[in-house]
Structure 1
Amino acid sequence: MSALLVLVVGLVAGIVAGVTARRHGRVDDSAHQMVNFWVLDVALPALALNVLHSVIFPANLLLIVAGPYLLFAFSATLFLWVGRVLHLRRDVVGALIVTTAVANTSFVGIPMVTAFFGAESVPVALLVDQLGSFIIVGTAVIAVAATASGAGVTRAEIARRLLTAPALIALLTGLVLRPVAFPGWLTAALTTLGSTLTPLALFSIGLQLRIGAVRAWRRELAIGLLVKLVIGPALVFGIYALAGSLGDHGVQVALFETAMPPMVAGAMIAMRYGLATPLPSLMVGVGVPVSLLTLPIWSWILQG
């Protein structure tokens, strides 16, 4: 549970730092951007390059990693429909998709899988994260964020932002270089850089979190977390149930991963593109504690 502890400490430290700094006027509202630069342009690419270079592919790979893609498709469709019905702004719909259509399959997912399914199930969780959530964040999430960030953004500009995103470049590089063995010093360096992502990302989100904003964004927050923690996983669960695959232990772990709270990297990307601030930070700040109540229920359903 050490990873979960790091997540909580990072978030709380960011909240305390933000409240203290604003109270004494020592920091402006753009201070978090310096932290975001490190997280999105250094730590995340380092992690992507490292894990995609060394991941091992099992025989039932497609069955295991399909969950995150189904979750993203279902969630994005639901948010687009809700956006039309409730006449939500373009950036709000974009923030909901970017922040909550992908699950936190690593920072929260791995400790939760260890707690409810045992340490022997962690390799499955890593595959779901690296070949599912990670690839979606590096491609579809960036594309949605670029599209939702402004009506004046051209397709060429969206393509440029997507293709020049450091995380996507690192992800593709890791796959291309799989036949090439990395020297030990490079692997160690990438591991160290990647390990800074969790505490700094949560610190940045906590720094921007305004607890008082929960009331102003309560409708959007409730919609996002209902889809992320309940409806989205239930739809994916239903697809696997119809396919008769629920008896597979790997599938159970993969489905459990789809029930995790909003992904930190997605929230960071939403904030970089200025999507409905402070909704993305609220999604993570509120979603992680709430998921500690919903995840035991999903574990019981899957293993019952």
Structure 2
Amino acid sequence: MVWILLTILVSVSAGIYGEHRWPDKAGSGSRRGLLLILYFVLPPIVFFNIAHVELTFGGGAGIGAGILTSVCVGLLAWFFAVPVLKLERPVAGAVICSAILANTSYLGYPMVYTLMGGEALTNAVLFDVVVSYLTLMIGAFGVGAAFGTKAGEGFRERLKAFFLKNPILFAAILGLLAPDAIAPDIAVDISRLLVGIPLVVGFFAVGAILTEEVRDGVMKIPPRPHKPLGAVIICRLVAAPALLLLFTLPFSDVPDSYYLLAVMPTGLNSMIVGHAYGLDLRTAAEAIVYTTVIVLLGVAGWAVLF
């Protein structure tokens, strides 16, 4: 676990330094790096682990519970943002997206692999592909279209992109259809070792992109706590794992990795949706910072105590 914390610290620091040293270039380069991860690193991880997975009744029930959890977390975030806090629509949309979008791939995969092992990662990948990508493509993009100041992409374009520009989807489908012989144990083991690459690239991007946002005046360092941010923290780090635990109580054999993914901090996709649809970028950026720091402090405390 120490290696994860050190990797994150070094990667974020490198991203911050890179953006100061080469303004705009580090940020744009990190975005290209994220695309390379999306197209060339995550697909083999998804393919070989899904080809290797043996879905149990508990696992399937947990995935269904994960989808229900995302819906309920989104509704809770809407309740805080609109009726309670009466936020402006772009801020409310940012709160909802930041609450439902978790950093399940870039941080979740290496954390599951380190804490729980390879078999747990296999189950986590299936949960992530189904729950997280449905949440992004349907939930977050829908929220962006409803609350953002920009028209964004229409439903038809988003649906087309979901099927034609989604390498994770194709990797998952091929993994489900592939015979066991195509995914030997050594290939699965190698794919699991790849989880460190998204961790480095992802958190370099966090450092570089958030430094861009600070320079552009989107957020300040250190970010000051405010009510929309508090709503995100409650929904993302408290409600999400609690609801998943509640919804899976009637079932046995639900993989433990599902619960670890449920407590992951806000993911970078909240910024992507915010840029595309005109949501409040300050709220999205600060949600990433605060929730990530809280989770990492919790992990560090766990590592010290246990």
TM range (shorter): 0.7 to 0.9
| Structure 1 residue 225, shift from structure 2 partner | 1.2
Change (3 A) 1:199 1:114: closer
* TM-score (ref. length: structure 2): 0.73
Question: Which residue identity does 2:128 align to in structure 1?
Answer: D
Match for residue 23 of structure 2? 27
The alpha-carbon deviation at position 151 of structure 1 amounts to: 5.9
Paired residues, what number?
Answer: 284
Q: Say if 1:146 and 1:10 are closer, same or farther in 2 by CA, change over 3 A.
A: farther
2:264 to 260, 281, 289: 260
- For the residue of structure 1 that corresponds to 2:55, the secondary structure is coil
Q: Say which is worse superposed, 203-212 or 192-201, in terms of deviation.
A: 192-201
**Identical-pair percentage:** 20
Q: Which moved further from structure 2: 100-109 or 231-240?
A: 100-109
Residue 173 of structure 1 corresponds to which residue in structure 2?
A: 170
Corresponding residue for 1:292? 296
Say which is worse superposed, 223-232 or 284-293, in terms of deviation.
284-293
Cα deviation per residue 1:72-100 (whole Å; 9 max; x = unaligned)? Answer: 11111012112222121222222223233
Amino acid at match of 1:102: L
Q: Structure 1 residue 229 and structure 2 residue 237: aligned?
A: yes
- CA separation in 2, counterparts of 1:114 and 1:72? 23
SS at match of 1:107: helix
Which residue of 2 is the match for residue 161 of structure 1?
158
Distance 1:193 1:112, change over 3 A: closer
- Which residue in the other structure is 2:15 paired with? 14
Whole-Å separation in 1 of the counterparts to 2:193 and 2:54: 24
Counterpart amino acid of residue 31 in structure 2: N
Correspondence 1:17-96 to 2 at 5 A: 17-18=18-19, 20-21=20-21, 27=23, 32-33=27-28, 35-39=30-34, 41-47=35-41, 49-54=43-48, 55=50, 56-60=53-57, 61-85=59-83, 86-96=85-95
Tell me by how many angstroms 1:230 deviates: 0.9
Deviation per CA, 1:162-181: give whole Å up to 9, x if none. 42258853233334544468
DSSP 3-state at the match of 1:73: helix
Separation (CA, whole Å) in 1 of partners of 2:237 and 2:164: 26
1:106 match: secondary structure? helix
**How far off its partner does 1:297 sit?**
9.7
Which whole-Å CA distance do the structure 2 matches of 1:294 and 1:167 have between them? 39
Counterparts of 1:177-216 in structure 2, within 5 Å, are: 177-178=174-175, 179=177, 197-209=198-210, 210=214, 212=220, 215=223
CA contact (8 A) 1:94 1:144 kept: yes
Structure 1: gaps of 5 or more residues: 299-304
Note closer, same or farther for the CA distance 1:17–1:5 as it changes in structure 2 (3 Å cut). same
Q: What SS is found at the alignment partner of 1:250?
A: coil
Return the TM-score normalized by structure 1: 0.73
Distance in 2 of aligned mates of 1:167 and 1:197: 22
Residue 224 of structure 1: how far off its partner (Å) = 0.6
Q: For the aligned residues, what is the CA RMSD?
A: 4.0
- Residue 281 of structure 1 is matched in structure 2 by 285
* In structure 2, C-alpha distance between the alignment counterparts of 1:180 and 1:123, rounded to whole Å: 15
For the Cα contact (< 8 Å) 2:101–2:266, is it kept in 1? Answer: yes
Unmatched segments (≥5 aa) in structure 2:
none
Shift of residue 69, structure 1, vs aligned partner: 1.5
- Deviation for aligned residue 1:258: 0.7
**Structure 2 contact 236–265 (Cα < 8 Å) conserved:** yes
Amino acid aligned to 1:275: L
Structure 1 residue 160, shift from structure 2 partner: 0.7
Q: Contact between 1:104 and 1:264, CA under 8 Å: does it hold in 2?
A: yes
For 1:196 and 1:147, the matched residues in 2 are separated by: 34
Q: Residue 295 and residue 223 in structure 1: after superposition, are their counterparts in 2 closer, same or farther (change >3 A)?
A: farther
Per-residue CA deviation, residues 241-298 of structure 1 (Å, 9 max, x unaligned), is: 3x2x3xx453433123211212234444434544212332322222122013456999
Give me the whole-angstrom Cα distance separating, in 1, the residues matched to 2:7 and 2:300: 20
